[in-house]
Structure 1
């Protein structure tokens, strides 16, 4: 399957090395106190439809519930490693932090984002528990989420 070989290393070896070095989960780094669990109605999935960002409440196991509404405010967000095609978020003024959103699991990325009247203004890697390296926003955001989190609106924290 990988017939290519260069300097004694197969294409698969090179691919695996790059994948391990570039595309890795971001574990909780600040092991201090995990934040209080989000209560029902405080944890959301983020969507983008017709250039408008919306949020819909989710249950602890990620099932959609309630009504989808236009997003507005400063949100903490997390992309769980095991669910890399979903962005979970919560209003920073309401939720207790990133581990409340991610349920303490490893993430592909975490940070905050400012959304005003359904329009994303910027997003960052600001997370005290995860502290994702800024460059991971180029490797750990899956292609289907790159339209929702465009790199041109990213600011390194």
Structure 2
């Protein structure tokens, strides 16, 4: 019986790494956020870059489109969001006084959110720190598309808990 229990437990642990996203709702107040410059996170030759984007309507859906500006090397702290309607892209923004995760998502459901810490184009670590969305650390694989796993490496993830 104990062996069967261990097998089931092992299968459940493995399942965490399958891509079975569940939308995360905004748990905060959506009014009062500021617009800020959003970026699409790019990785090329082992270095990370930020490509400026602009949000526009596409039919009845808000979408981000690349601006003509050149990508800049990622450096410092950025907040990030993976939107439900653009699950193959990590969108980032510099955290400013009133710019937060909902400044990127406009209060819509997301698959994951947190912070990324860069040092001259390299990720030092990333986490699940988001007061509005509060994503669980344990779903960082099941809610992040496999194509993004090389962009957000699991070995550089640090679980955020209140008081960190």
Q: Classify the TM-score, shorter chain.
A: 0.7 to 0.9
**Superposed CA offset, 1:87-138 (max 9, x none):** 1100124761000011221111000010110000000000000000111102
Deviation track 1:52-82 (CA, whole Å, cap 9, x = no partner) reads 0000111013110111111111000000011
Unaligned stretches of 5+ residues in structure 2: 1-15, 57-63
Deviation at 1:29, TM superposition (A): 1.4
Partner residue in 2 for 1:78:
81
Change (3 A) 1:78 1:35: farther
The two structures, once aligned, show a CA RMSD in angstroms of: 1.7
Note the residue ranges of structure 1 that are not aligned, 5 or more in a row: 1-17
Normalised to the residue count of structure 1, the TM-score between the two structures is 0.80
Match of 2:66 among 64, 67, 88: 64
**Is 2:119 the counterpart of 1:116?**
yes
**Which residue of the partner structure matches residue 136 of structure 2?**
133
* TM-score normalized with structure 2 length: 0.76
Change (3 A) 1:50 1:94: farther
Q: Distance in 2 between the 1:98 and 1:154 partners?
A: 18
SS at match of 1:47: strand
Q: Residue 35 of structure 1 contacts residue 96 of structure 1 at CA under 8 Å; is this kept in 2?
A: no
Tell which deviates more after alignment, 123-132 or 100-109: 100-109
- Of residues 40, 47, 56, the one that matches 1:45 is 40
Rate the CA distance shift 1:60–1:95 in 2: closer, same or farther, 3 A: farther
The answer to whether the 8 Å contact 1:75/1:91 transfers is: yes
